[in-house]
Amino acid sequence: MSDNERVLDPDAVFELGDVLEPMALPKRPPERAGRAFGALRVLSVADAVAVPQRAYLIKGLIECGALSVVYGEPGCGKSFLAQYFGWHVARGTGAFGRRVRPGGVLYLALEGEGGFPARVTGFAREYGGTEAFHFAAQQVNFFSDLGALEDVRAAALAVKAKLIVVDTLARAIAEGDENTAGDMGALIAVLDGLREATGCHVMLIHHTGKDEARGMRGHSSLNGAADMTLYVSRDAESAERRAEIKKNKDGPCGAVLGFALRPLVLGVDDDGDEVTTMVVEEVTGLTKKKSRGLKLAADQQMWLEEIQSFIAEMSPDLVAPKPDMKRERAVTRHDLMEHFRAKELLGVTDSVTGDLNVRRRRQDASRAKMQRILNALKARKKLAFTPRLVWLLH
């Protein structure tokens, strides 16, 4: 057997039907566009125009080679929804009124050793069988086990996957700390490598924190790295479930997918009791939720994304902006202004002119503009600030 062949453990990866056959692992061809300067490849405008648009699996939702995060509180239905996406990709059938391109799916049910086969059986009965949906119902350590990562890469290539679902991030990061920049960054780097090696879209299933309104649990660098985030929630009064696009790097945000979970009886056990699972039903006509804030204009969205990225990159320690407040990841106004100035988004550097009066007028204008930006984002409940610190609201 050659070095680039791996035998897949039939106990680790399951398929509806036959056991997977081992196969050689092809390497992706190198990118030839542009000019190479060592490891750096520089593209021209003509190169950019010639590059085809990124292909989608579910149009406007799941793009090939991208990273997404589907998150929500326990019991909201996020895992069922992710499996629903994967099932429709595997079958090539439309979902939520969106076009779907078929492709193989590898679902890593890291928390589903016991119940996931029943979910697969239920989906096969409800939506029809497929040979393109595969899953592994066992724990996989993405944080420190390079062998496990290689196994996932090999499996994804063997089953010709276009979508890999990692359910959940908490299990995938293993002994790592999702609240620290270093550990979360290491996990993101691993997932980036997996995407590069396979060409797959990687979808992470994740949780909200204790305060659901604050968004995804853990370090904010995950939000910065994701191409798309989908927030799944369940209304306690109406029992409506909805998934809202919170971030979409290359498309519009705010679209809401309504769905319900319906019990499905699979049979009876040895005691004569019913064995059930849940399947997803698409729902239209959701109750309109009250807006939590004013809608952002295009320039305000740009400023907000810049602030989010800066806070994620700075990875500041948690501080209490006010004595009676919880600890937050906050940056100083001075550092934020210098970041904007360095990117030439706000004023100019002091070295541009030697005229003291001109520098002062420009500095005053920059401070006034930044205050307008902060006021606008605060009014839309996106951030908060004190005379010294700025932090995000989730």
Q: What is the arithmetic mean of pLDDT over 170-184?
A: 91
For residues 1 and 103, which has the higher predicted lDDT (pLDDT)?
Answer: 103
Weakest-pLDDT range from 171-185, 231-245, 287-301, 344-358: 344-358
Cα 162 to chain centroid distance, Å, stands at: 16
Would you state the pLDDT for residue 241? 93
Strands, E, within the chain: which ranges?
Answer: 5-6, 14-15, 23-24, 35-37, 40-42, 56-58, 62-63, 67-72, 104-109, 133-136, 161-167, 201-207, 228-234, 241-248, 256-268, 274-283, 318-319, 328-332, 383-385, 389-392
Q: Which of 134, 128, 139 is nearest to 160 (CA)?
A: 134
Tokens in use for 212? 């659901």
Q: Which of 394, 207, 386, 223 is nearest to 293 (CA)?
A: 394
Sign of CA dihedral 36, 42, 46, 52: positive
With cut-offs at 50, 70 and 90, classify the pLDDT of residue 11: very low
Q: What is the arithmetic mean of pLDDT over 340-349?
A: 72
Would you state the pLDDT for residue 28? 41
Would you state the pLDDT for residue 281? 94
Would you state the pLDDT for residue 26? 36
For residues 30 and 369, which has the higher predicted lDDT (pLDDT)?
Answer: 369
For residues 15 and 306, which has the higher predicted lDDT (pLDDT)?
Answer: 306
- Res 291 pLDDT > 70: no
Would you state the pLDDT for residue 349? 47
Q: Tell me: the pLDDT tens digits for 247-270? A: 988 778 889 999 999 999 999 888
With cut-offs at 50, 70 and 90, classify the pLDDT of residue 347: low
- Res 166 pLDDT > 50: yes
With cut-offs at 50, 70 and 90, classify the pLDDT of residue 360: confident
- Res 25 pLDDT > 50: no
Would you state the pLDDT for residue 254? 87
- Res 24 pLDDT > 60: no
Would you state the pLDDT for residue 369? 86
**What domains can you pick out in the chain, each with its CATH number?**
5-283 (3.40.50.300), 298-392 (no CATH)
pTM of the model: 0.67
Question: In the sheet that 383-385 helps form, which strands lie side by side, from edge to edge?
Answer: 318-319, 328-332, 389-392, 383-385
Q: Classify residue 69 as exposed, middle or buried by CB count within 10 Å of its CB (0-12, 13-18, 19+).
A: buried
- Res 52 pLDDT > 90: no
CA 361 to CA 348: how far, in whole Å?
11
State the DSSP string of 60-78.
Answer: TTEETT-EEEEEESTTSSH
CA 273 to CA 66: how far, in whole Å?
43
- Res 9 pLDDT > 50: no
Mean pLDDT score across all residues of the chain:
83
Three-state secondary-structure class, residue 37: strand
With cut-offs at 50, 70 and 90, classify the pLDDT of residue 2: very low
Q: Is the peptide bond before 168 cis (omega within 30 degrees of 0)?
A: yes
CA 106 to CA 121: how far, in whole Å?
16
Tokens in use for 150? 């290689």
Would you state the pLDDT for residue 232? 95
Which single residue is written with the structure tokens 């190479």?
36
State the DSSP H helix or E strand holding residue 146, giving kind and residue range, or none if neither.
Answer: helix 146-158
Q: What is the arithmetic mean of pLDDT over 312-335?
A: 79
Q: Which of 152, 76, 153 is nearest to 109 (CA)?
A: 152
CA dihedral 206, 141, 151, 167 (to 10 degrees): -20
Which single residue is written with the structure tokens 């030697």?
354
CA 201 to CA 197: how far, in whole Å?
11
Q: What is the arithmetic mean of pLDDT over 37-62?
A: 85
State the DSSP string of 213-275.
Answer: GG-BSS-THHHHH-SEEEEEEE-TTT--EEEEEEEETTS----EEEEEEEEEEEEE-TTSPEE
Helices 146-158 & 181-198 angle (0-180, nearest 10): 30
CB contact burial 230-245 (16+ within 10 A = b; e otherwise): bbbbbeeeeebbbbbb
With cut-offs at 50, 70 and 90, classify the pLDDT of residue 345: confident
- Res 364 pLDDT > 70: yes
Q: What is the arithmetic mean of pLDDT over 170-176?
A: 91
Residues 6+ apart with CB under 8 A from 238: 287
Tokens in use for 239? 């029992």
Q: Tell me: the pLDDT tens digits for 193-239? A: 999 999 999 999 999 876 666 678 888 899 889 999 999 998 876 67
With cut-offs at 50, 70 and 90, classify the pLDDT of residue 190: very high
Kindly list the distances between the CA atom of residue 226 and the CA atoms of 125, 221, 249, in Å, as whole numbers in the listed order: 33, 9, 8
